[in-house]
Structure 1
């Protein structure tokens, strides 16, 4: 098992895992599988995202298989450049419970620490996802807000906690 920053050559692998994540846990992402499969040239867009300033996506690999991902994105507006956000955290069901999520989040935090401007990392997590909340708390994130009905999936509402970590 190893973790590394993804590059444009990983775009297809990432896109396949992203579609899996949207199907497996639709309540965990603001994007939907239905929207994702309608995108034009999604792999090219992913490749461009991997090269965008302030955008860092890390992948967890078991041999050559991508089994987990997390994205760290630094805000670009001048007044917000001290903040980065964690998005698109996912570990395949067969690899959950093995500490991969913690390794991914730790890698994202460590990357943020290398960028002088970043002072805080934010993320959102569905309130019913106890494993994710425990993971984020274990690396120092603290809840600062609660949003009722943050997401609506198939006529069911999901609340979210907003969390942050001061570096």
Structure 2
């Protein structure tokens, strides 16, 4: 048997970084495509979001004062995925952050990009000693996303039945999940 060179990890050349102003058009294009192709996976609807200008997503740029950021995954100039975190500034709940949006393009699914985005977001969040909880909601029928979140340590603490009503009449539940960042 001949020894072969190791096969590079499919994400080896993927760059993870915080979103900048210049990234807004690419972010909007990814988001619009994901909302259009996966209406049952997102709370936002494609038609409403498509009408928004790219500049309307400036609020998702990193802001050290509010601990809000969007982490992007790029490869060869193409945006493959994004994950957005925000935190409420009210003092009684300032120890909580919320994952409010995560997506990986269809072409990049199954390559570990979602996991890399999650791992990097958790690394960034754990640097802030004020934070102890990370929450999210996910469409209960989105098995791939639920597996990703459970694999990262999230636990389901509830279900909001009938949370989403789709234009075709389907009604979907949302699972509410939490991850303890520290005790």
- Taking structure 2 as the reference length, the TM-score comes to 0.86
Matched residue pairs, number?
165
**Residue 83 (str. 1) matches residue 96 (str. 2):** yes
* Cα drift, residue 2 of structure 1: 1.6
Q: Structure 2, unaligned stretches of length 5 or more?
A: 1-13
Pick the structure with more strand per residue.
1
1:24 to 33, 37, 43: 37
Q: Structure 1, unaligned stretches of length 5 or more?
A: none
**Residue 156 (str. 1) matches residue 167 (str. 2):** no
Contact 1:145 1:163 survives alignment (8 Å): yes
Pick the structure with more helix per residue.
1
| Deviating 4+ runs (over 6 angstroms) | none
Query: Is the radius of gyration larger for structure 1 or structure 2?
Result: 2
Aligned-residue CA RMSD in angstroms? 1.2
**Residue 119 (str. 1) matches residue 132 (str. 2):** yes
**Residue 146 (str. 1) matches residue 159 (str. 2):** yes
Query: For the residues of structure 1 that align with 2:146 and 2:82, how far apart are their CA atoms?
Result: 17
Contact 1:9 1:47 survives alignment (8 Å): no
* Cα drift, residue 108 of structure 1: 1.3
